[in-house]
Amino acid sequence: MDFEKLSAYKKLQELAKNPPDLTKNSVFNIDRIKNFVAKSKDYTLFYAGERVNEDIIKTLFELAKEASALEKMQNMQNGEIVNFIRGFPSENRAALHTATRDFFSGDKKSKTANEAKALAYAEYEKLKRFLAEIETFDRFQDLIMIGIGGSDLGPYANFLALAHLIKKGRRAFFINNIDPDNLHRVIESANLDKTLVAVVSKSGNTLETMTNEAFLRDCFVKAGLDPRKHFVAVTGEGSPMDDKSLYLDTFYIWDWIGGRFSSTSMVGGVLLGFAFGMEIFTEFLKGASEMDHAALNPNLSENIPLLGALLSIWNRNFLHYETLAVIPYSQALSRFPAHFQQLSMESNGKHIDKEGKRTPFQTGMIIWGEPGTNAQHSFFQLLHQGVDPIPIEFIGFIESQSRFDFIFNGTTSQEKLLSNLLAQSISLATGKKSDNPNKEFDGNRPSHILMAEQLTPKTLGELLAYFEHKTAFEGFIWNINSFDQEGVQLGKVVAEKIIDQFASERKKEFNEGYGVAKAYLELFKKV
Amino acid sequence: MDFEKLSAYKKLQELAKNPPDLTKNSVFNIDRIKNFVAKSKDYTLFYAGERVNEDIIKTLFELAKEASALEKMQNMQNGEIVNFIRGFPSENRAALHTATRDFFSGDKKSKTANEAKALAYAEYEKLKRFLAEIETFDRFQDLIMIGIGGSDLGPYANFLALAHLIKKGRRAFFINNIDPDNLHRVIESANLDKTLVAVVSKSGNTLETMTNEAFLRDCFVKAGLDPRKHFVAVTGEGSPMDDKSLYLDTFYIWDWIGGRFSSTSMVGGVLLGFAFGMEIFTEFLKGASEMDHAALNPNLSENIPLLGALLSIWNRNFLHYETLAVIPYSQALSRFPAHFQQLSMESNGKHIDKEGKRTPFQTGMIIWGEPGTNAQHSFFQLLHQGVDPIPIEFIGFIESQSRFDFIFNGTTSQEKLLSNLLAQSISLATGKKSDNPNKEFDGNRPSHILMAEQLTPKTLGELLAYFEHKTAFEGFIWNINSFDQEGVQLGKVVAEKIIDQFASERKKEFNEGYGVAKAYLELFKKV
């Protein structure tokens, strides 16, 4: 059923004409704050700051039911084909990333899901053995991870989130960009002799990753080292990279794991296992798996991924806001917005539905953000006094990770951090009148707060899965395919043509070239 | 004169009804690419990918003239009061950041600008002496910079951009967030005995910076070290931090330097001078100063900050796009989008004009972005196939910084990087038809490319000033005050109330509390 034809859609359009006015004390009050709360596992979602009321929430939930959102989530976790466009050639795959961490409950699953889980678990066990072996000989101190996009952003964000737990003497470096300065800076720092290299590409033919692998192998050879004793592969079974003669070991993923959903597979596992050990990686998987279960909960107040998706849809399709700022009040989550940016925008930045029809409604929003309180001293001016409201997702924790703190002027830094988070959410909602127009705040700027006790490996896993499922629920309700990325193909094809032109030039061969690109290249020579 | 009443505004509204269709070969062709080029100093701006034609550019330039944009830039650089709201209490200050680097030409300037320059130059000389002295005794190896917002983002982005040039044995760490985990991670890494600490706050009373300074001083004392022998201050003359008895040395800034415009003052100077040496810092200043001159050039094709601002205004006010993605094809510029995000959004995220009237038009856009090619594997799906076009500013360099490269499949990594940049700009403009709706690209997605030979200290300075002046020009044309930030005040006031509540609780004193915040805090206890 088309999103815009759902009967709840019409009702929501009506309700959007008169959303609650949060600048009124009679609206944004203590009762409201107590009532607009939901909880899944270790996270509580406070959404009094959104421009919703009980009627709106009820109708949003109707929308989810009409769109069969929960059934679709169940189907996804059962390994049904969810990645398709009906009537057109498309990937026709499952999206079974939940199987890569479904190691903790005895739940009955579909045969497909059980098979996927068994495959994933075998890799998990392989990693455990591999890490134990290199540990015994203290073979490696540094890890260089080569990967880009889904094979970089999630793993890196998760690594930073737990960096205080790194095993003594170990370090991690990241080569993602084709920019040769990226690789250069890394090899200036790493100790190649004691370096493990993880090359991560599901397809085994990603331009950046293949190039950086060849480049780095050359550096090893020039340093008198044998790459086969340092490089491991993380790739799809049967991909061009699946050649055991070239690697110390090989870890598999499969076509039912999308890059941006691969953080809990071996794509994230080799890095996190090496840096923190298998116990911490396992806790992380456990957290993700618990949130997978929460995403199946039919009670909206216990299913925050679904609620989060519905709040996004309210802001996007009914209040017509184009972006969502994700602001973690935790420096450890500094790269989490970049991971979620990919997850959401690559999944839902689509303009056709699953029937191949143009969507007459808005889909995926622009996701952006930086940690608080830093962001308060950066772009919050615009959030408070810019022309248009910008929805915000705040993330916070009651305790710091280190519990290393200091009382200054009567409070700890952690208390000051939490106070600021709250103050922003409240003042964006309430605004403030003033005789000086430059000190006037309109208010009614929507936000919600996702809060847990502490950022640990387990709550990090929950947070990751929260965002994965929120993204999937949005796609289910819009009836779009969140699991392919055809939009990145055209740029690749054109880039290949220009690369060919460079190659011809180097060989002094004639190349007709790609007209406009050739013109640019001529002009570049005069820069 | 109000922006929307300028006669060019009406003309542009008409022109916006029929912008050029870049998907047509007859429009987006070789001639266009050659014709839509401008150049200032080391940068060339290629804007064939924007939805403009000669008529539109001419009319945008008329708009700039009607708004007296160049005179306002001249006035700013002369030190006239540009930071004000007429008829209401406001800061009433100059914005003379250009004086902090105007050390390279004998140009005649106003008396005010000359006085400012003399003050700034004295601090520059002081820094040179200070660095020479600590060098002689090899006193410090590590630098910890404590600062937030304008005292962090620009300096950090610039530091990363040149990190390959760091002096042997030196390292830099950053404490910005009030989150105590930020400080904790830094002191786990730095060697305090050999650490210089730069505390940076113009006001001398920034909550985060004062707290982190006190916290870090305590760590020094507990390590048996005397903070007065390690800490230097960068602050406004006469601020609460201006107390020489507490610091090894003190460097000044003044109320005519806004935080987000302070990268070339001692705010950036202490870090860049320590890390790279005065010669490199001086080259950086020289580049910025050259772009300051370019911003006064009355020829639009030689004034890229003005042209950049006009393209933004075209996209924002006439084609009604809400955001701008800044995508540097240079890993070294990975944090530049975050700096420019602050610069632009804090400056132009305003809803009143300089007369205190509501703007009936859109002002500052949301700025966001990540480096390419990484971003291609992240959110470019949405840029190509999302529902709405998103304007993009690409930044690229012909050569890499290190010139350390590798030929793989016939081309260098740098050639592959440039090919990708071009491919994206071209394919976003042209799009592609297809029988498969999932492989269809609408095109007409606007972008321009800013290109220089290489990212050096000098071209980094130029790039910084380009963004500063682009931002200022937008404000001049909109007739808003780009130099204050009243929008950050309300959150601060509310945060103080909540912090008081935490302090009372710690002292077991009664505190009536801030109603809704109190409710949240009660609920947090149950998280």
Best A365, A377, A392 member to test B by mutation, with max B CBs in 10 Å, is A377
B453–A499 CB contact, under 8 Å? no
CA angle B280, B282, B283 (to 5 degrees): 65
Nearest-angstrom CA–CA distance, B430 and B29: 10
The span from the CA of B177 to the CA of B211, in Å, is 10
A249 membership: H or E segment, kind and range: strand A249-253
Chain B residues lying within 8 Å of A407, measured CB to CB? 506
Cα angle B67, B71, B76; round to 5: 110
* pLDDT score recorded for residue A387: 94
Which residues of chain A does B454 touch, with a Cβ-Cβ cutoff of 8 Å? none
Percent of chain B with pLDDT over 70: 100
Distance (Å) from the C-alpha of residue A41 to the closest C-alpha of chain B?
10
3-class SS of residue A368: strand
- Quote the mean pLDDT of chain B: 97
Nearest CB among A30, A401, A419 relative to B519 is that of A30
Give the ranges where B223-303 is alpha helix by DSSP (H).
266-276, 278-294
**How distant is the Cα of B378 from the closest Cα of chain A, in angstroms?**
4
Q: Which amino acid is at A224?
A: G
Q: How far is the C-alpha of B410 from the C-alpha of A505, rounded, in Å? A: 10
pLDDT at residue B137 in the model: 82
Which residues of chain A does B263 touch, with a Cβ-Cβ cutoff of 8 Å? none
Which residues of A are the active-site residues? 346, 377, 492
| Residue pLDDT, tens place only, A205-250 | 999 999 999 999 999 999 999 999 999 999 999 999 999 999 999 9
Structural tokens at position B79:
């030190």
Asked if the Cβ–Cβ distance from A515 to B29 is below 8 Å, we say: yes
A184 contacts chain B (CB < 8 A): yes
User: Alpha-carbon distance B490 to B256, whole Å?
Assistant: 23
Structure confidence at residue B280 (pLDDT): 98
Check CB contact of A221 with chain B, cutoff 8 Å: no
Per-residue three-class SS string for B365-431:
CEEECCCCCHHHHCCHHHHHHCCCCCCEEEEEECCCCCCCCCEECCEEHHHHHHHHHHHHHHHHHHC
The pLDDT assigned to B136 comes to 86
Q: Residue B123 is inside which H or E element, if any? A: helix B111-136
Say if strands B93-94 and B81-83 run parallel, antiparallel, or are unpaired.
antiparallel
List strand residue ranges (DSSP E) for A6-151, in order: 37-40, 43-46, 142-146
Contacts of B215 in chain A (CB under 8 A): 406, 408, 413
- CATH fold for domain B97-284: Rossmann fold (3.40.50)
Select from A215, A329, A380 the Cβ nearest to the Cβ of B488.
A380
d(CA A17, CA B476): 36
H or E segment to which residue B83 belongs = strand B81-83
Residue B373 has pLDDT above 90, yes or no: yes
Set of chain B residues whose Cβ sits within 8 Å of the Cβ of A315: none
Q: What is the DSSP letter of A229?
A: G
By residue count, chain B amounts to 527
Chain B CB within 8 Å of residue A90 CB: yes
The CA distance from A439 to B141, in Å, is 45
First-to-last alpha carbon distance for chain A, in angstroms, is: 54
Give the residue numbers of B annotated as catalytic, written as ranges.
346, 377, 492
Q: Are A461 and A264 in contact (CB under 8 A)?
A: yes
DSSP SS3 for A314? helix
Is pLDDT at B270 greater than 90 in this prediction? yes
Instruction: Say whether A215 and B413 touch across the interface (CB within 8 A).
Output: yes
Query: Tens digits of per-residue pLDDT, B202-253?
Result: 999 999 999 999 999 999 999 999 999 999 999 999 999 999 999 999 999 9
Contact B36, B22 (CB under 8 A): no
B495, with CB counted inside 10 A (0-12, 13-18, 19+), is: buried
Residue A125's H or E segment, with its range, is: helix A111-136
Contacts of B356 (CB under 8 A, 6+ apart): A436, A437, A438, B85, B86, B87, B88
Contact residues, chain A, for B400 at CB < 8 Å: 179-181, 184
SS3 (DSSP) at B98: helix
Q: How confident is the model at residue B511 (pLDDT cuts 50, 70, 90)?
A: confident
- Taking CA–CA distances from B339, the nearest residue in chain A reads A378
Q: Could you tell me which of B160, B33, B156, B43 has the C-alpha nearest to residue B397?
A: B43
User: Given CB atoms, is B410 within the 8 Å cutoff of chain A?
Assistant: yes
* Tokens coding A213: 């692998």
Tell me whether residues B164 and A184 touch, CB distance under 8 A. yes
pLDDT of residue B513: 73
Q: Are B499 and A407 in contact (CB under 8 A)?
A: no
Instruction: Provide CB contacts within 8 A for A408, sequence distance 6+.
Output: B210, B211, B214, B215
In this complex, the residue of A149, A424, A439 whose CB is nearest that of residue B486 is A439
Q: Does B221 touch chain A (CB under 8 A)?
A: no
Residue A449 parent element (H or E):
strand A447-452
CA distance A164 to chain B (A): 7
B351:A28 CB<8 A: no
pLDDT score of B498 more than 90? yes
What is the end-to-end Cα distance of chain B in Å, rounded?
A: 54
* pTM score over 0.90: yes
Of B438, B125, B436, B164, the residue nearest B282 (C-alpha): B125
B419 contacts: CB under 8 Å, gap ≥ 6? A495, A498, A499, A501, A502, A517, B411
**Contact residues, A window 260-319, toward B, CB-based 8 Å cutoff:** none
Residue with tokens 């953080």: A263
- List CB contacts (< 8 A) between A30 and chain B: 515-516, 518-519
CB contacts of B439 in chain A (<8 Å) are: 486, 489
Residue A41 DSSP one-character state: T
Q: What does the alpha-carbon distance between residue B492 and residue B494 come to, in Å, rounded to a whole number?
A: 6
User: Which of A490, A506, A494, A175 lies closest to B418, judged by CA?
Assistant: A494
Task: Name the minimum distance, in Å, from the CA of B405 to any CA of chain A.
Answer: 6
pLDDT in tens, B9-59: 999 999 999 999 999 999 999 999 999 999 999 999 999 999 999 999 999
Residue A197 host element (H or E): strand A195-201
- Locate the chain A residue with the closest alpha carbon to B516: A30
- In the stretch 365-384 of chain A, residues with CB closer than 8 A to chain B read 366-368, 370-374, 376-384
Shortest distance between the Cα of A377 and any Cα of chain B, in A, equals 4
Residues of A in contact with B511 (CB under 8 A): none
Measure B50 CA to nearest chain A CA, in Å: 14
Express each pLDDT in B426-440 by its tens digit.
Answer: 999 999 999 999 999
Is the Cβ of B92 closer than 8 Å to some Cβ of chain A? Answer: no
Domain A3-66+300-483 and domain A97-286 have a common topology: yes
Q: Which residues contact A451 (CB under 8 A, 6 or more apart)?
A: A43, A44, A45, A46, A395, A396, A397, A398, B524, B527
* B236 vs A: CB within 8 A: no
ipTM of the complex: 0.97
Q: Dihedral angle at the C-alpha atoms of A325, B427, A491, B451, nearest 10 degrees?
A: -80
Domain A3-66+300-483: CATH superfamily, name plus number = Glucose-6-phosphate isomerase like protein; domain 1 (3.40.50.10490)
Element (H, E) at A489: helix A489-506
From the list B176, B380, B404, the residue facing A374 with the nearest CB is: B176
Pick the CATH number of A97-286 from 3.40.50.620, 3.40.50.10490, 3.90.76.10, 3.30.750.24: 3.40.50.10490
Structure tokens at A204: 């085994």
CB distance from A398 to chain B under 8 Å? yes
Closest residue by Cα to residue B395 from B311, B330, B306, B315: B330
Residue A129 burial (C-beta neighbours within 10 Å; 0-12, 13-18, 19+)? exposed
Give the pLDDT of residue B105. 84
Q: Which residues of B touch A358 (CB under 8 A)?
A: 437
DSSP state of A324: E
With CB atoms and an 8 Å threshold, state whether A414 touches B180: yes
Asked if residue A112 lies in contact with residue A254, where contact means CB atoms within 8 angstroms, the answer is: no
CB of B437 within 8 Å of a chain A CB? The answer is yes
**Contacting residues of A for B208, CB less than 8 Å apart:** 373, 377, 416
Cα–Cα distance for residue pair A186/A173, rounded to 1 Å: 6
B153-166 pLDDT, tens per residue? 999 999 999 999 99
CB distance A516–B363 less than 8 Å?
Answer: no
pLDDT score at B283: 98
Contact A180 B414 (CB under 8 A): yes
Amino acid residing at A305 = P
**Residue contact B88–A499, C-beta within 8 A:** no
Question: Do B523 and A34 lie within an 8 Å CB cutoff?
Answer: yes
Domain ranges of chain B: 15-79+295-484, 97-284, 487-524
Distance CA B115, CA A290 (A): 64
Note whether A348 contacts B: Cβ–Cβ < 8 A: yes
Chains A and B form CB pairs within 8 A to the count of: 506
Which of B363, B371, B427 lies closest to A491 in CB terms? B427
Ranges of residues in chain A whose predicted pLDDT is under 70: none
Retrieve residue A384's tokens.
Answer: 């408070």
pLDDT of residue A106: 79
Question: What's residue B453's pLDDT?
Answer: 98
Does A507 contact B at CB distance below 8 Å?
yes
Q: Which CATH architecture has domain B15-79+295-484?
A: 3-Layer(aba) Sandwich (3.40)
